[in-house]
């Protein structure tokens, strides 16, 4: 999945530092991330969106579902996010948060 973002460094901080993806490539204006050693599951770039703010409702993807191995991994991710001051919503089945561009990110167990 490739996302257009306003700031590649902010995307890296969010998706790598906070969510825990592995950085697989960091090139001018783009970052590529993965889990488990894959070349990349996601990429975020500013190639046509540098400086973009919040995504307009109804425009683009809107939601990213990330499935973690089990509820323990979801709880670990939630604790890490809370420790960084990220506001989470617990639906009972998943933990939800917004990325810096207003995309809903949903973490749930497999």
| Pairing, β 2-4 against β 42-45 | parallel
* C-alpha to C-alpha distance for 24 and 44, rounded to whole angstroms: 12
Give me Rg for the CA atoms of the chain: 13
**pLDDT reported for residue 54:** 87
How large is the average pLDDT for residues 28-35? 96
Q: Indicate the length of the chain as a whole number.
A: 110
> Does position 17 have pLDDT exceeding 90, yes or no?
yes
* C-alpha to C-alpha distance for 11 and 91, rounded to whole angstroms: 25
How large is the average pLDDT for residues 91-102? 95
Q: How confident is the model at residue 66 (pLDDT cuts 50, 70, 90)?
A: very high
């Amino acid at each position: 999945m490739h996302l257009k973002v306003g700031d590649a460094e902010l995307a890296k901080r969010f998706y790598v530092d906070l969510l825990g993806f592995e950085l697989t490539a960091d090139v001018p204006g783009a970052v590529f991330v993965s889990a488990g050693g894959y070349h990349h599951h996601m990429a975020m770039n500013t190639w046509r969106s540098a400086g973009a703010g919040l995504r307009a409702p109804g425009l683009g993807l809107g939601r990213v579902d990330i499935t973690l191995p089990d509820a323990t991994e979801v709880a670990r991710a939630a604790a890490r996010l809370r420790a960084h001051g990220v506001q989470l919503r617990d639906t009972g089945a998943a933990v939800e948060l917004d990325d810096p561009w207003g995309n809903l990110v949903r973490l749930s167990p497999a």
